[in-house]
Amino acid sequence: MPKAFEPLLHNMLNMDDPDHRRLRNLVHKAFTPRMIMGLAERIETIANELLDAAIAQERVDLIKAFAIPLPVTVIAELIGIPAADRMYFRRLTERIIVSPTPLNMIGAIPAVWQFLRYIRGLADQRRADPQEDLLTALIQAEDAGEQLTEDELLGMVFLLLVAGHETTVNLIGNGTLALLNNPDQLELLRNNPDLAESAVEELLRYDSPVMTAEMGFAREEMTLHGVTIPKGATVLPALLSANRDETVFANADQLDLTRSPNRHLAFGQGIHYCLGSPLARLEGKIAFNTLLARAPALRLAVEPAQIKYRNVMILHGLTALPVCM
């Protein structure tokens, strides 16, 4: 890993307790349920504005026209990134989270430098002139008298930006494709918008927005389902596979928006369970209900075999989703 990436790694995903707990407590005090609860009306407004433009074009790439700008706008407004800079940050994160080959990582270094320089400058502005945003709350948050270090602040802003929009982009994109490929389930949701919460859980399971959890290392030798994992071995949990486990989910390869219980692992489990899952769920619920209500003739504009997935680390999402509105 190039040294330039080190500040981005100072976040909760890459830490165990007690450091993980300290950081999570600090961020939790900033990322409060109160901040999420008041967002529904704003998310609905953004979704409808984006769909106004998409419907006017008849044929669009739904990823570019809807799935990306919706969560990017929401998380950027939460953090306090000016509107003019939001898609700039989307482009930076796309360049940073490339498939981790040595050549790709070296090529991403300029984007890392740009990201760090911008956030340091914006943080200095917030220290001088605090605002009602998440960046100010992170700067001011304390836990037992401790605040985030500069590297921890940079790492947490990066994590919130990536986790706060990339996973939702993939939830909306992958989920819409799954519905289009299962028209009976699409019509079920369209005719029963109250089913949206259950639908989001099933779409998270069926084609998860995250491919793997963070890499870990076995602290001691253990045997799991007859397989011995040596002490010190690298462990990379495959969430996509876990969410299609037939021993947990009946008819695991079938999309069933009424599935219950639905103990999927799309948001992880344990101490690293996704802090932003309530926001992702809210965005997904609003996105699917608004899209299906506004686009009654929604259909794929290409053959399903032409749909491709991005080649990036950890995340699992579409390169594009051409649809007719």
Enter the pTM of the model.
0.88
The angle, 0 to 180 degrees and rounded to 10, between the axes of the packed helices 277-294 and 183-191 is 90
Model pLDDT for residues 180-206, shown as the tens digit of each residue: 999 999 999 999 999 999 999 999 999
Q: What is the mean pLDDT of the chain?
A: 88
Contact yes or no for 67/169 (Cβ under 8 A): yes
The angle, 0 to 180 degrees and rounded to 10, between the axes of the packed helices 86-96 and 150-181 is 90
Model pLDDT for residues 238-265, shown as the tens digit of each residue: 999 999 999 999 999 999 999 999 999 9
Cα 33 vs. chain centroid, distance in angstroms? 18
Model pLDDT for residues 118-169, shown as the tens digit of each residue: 999 999 999 999 998 889 988 887 655 677 888 888 888 888 887 778 899 9
Asked if residue 71 has pLDDT above 70, the reply is: yes
Q: pLDDT-based confidence at 173, cuts 50/70/90?
A: very high
Q: pLDDT-based confidence at 93, cuts 50/70/90?
A: confident
Model pLDDT for residues 210-229, shown as the tens digit of each residue: 998 877 889 999 998 899 99
Contact yes or no for 141/30 (Cβ under 8 A): yes
All structural domains of the chain with their residue ranges: 3-324
Say yes or no: domain 3-324 is CATH 3.90.45.10.
Answer: no
Question: Look-up: residue for tokens 């299906």?
Answer: 292
Mean pLDDT of the 75-95 span: 87
pLDDT for the residue 158: 84
3-state secondary structure of 165: helix
pLDDT greater at residue 268 or residue 193:
193
Q: pLDDT-based confidence at 10, cuts 50/70/90?
A: low
Asked if residue 76 has pLDDT above 80, the reply is: yes
Query: Which of 10-19, 78-87, 115-124, 267-276 bottoms out in mean pLDDT, i.e. has the lowest?
Result: 10-19
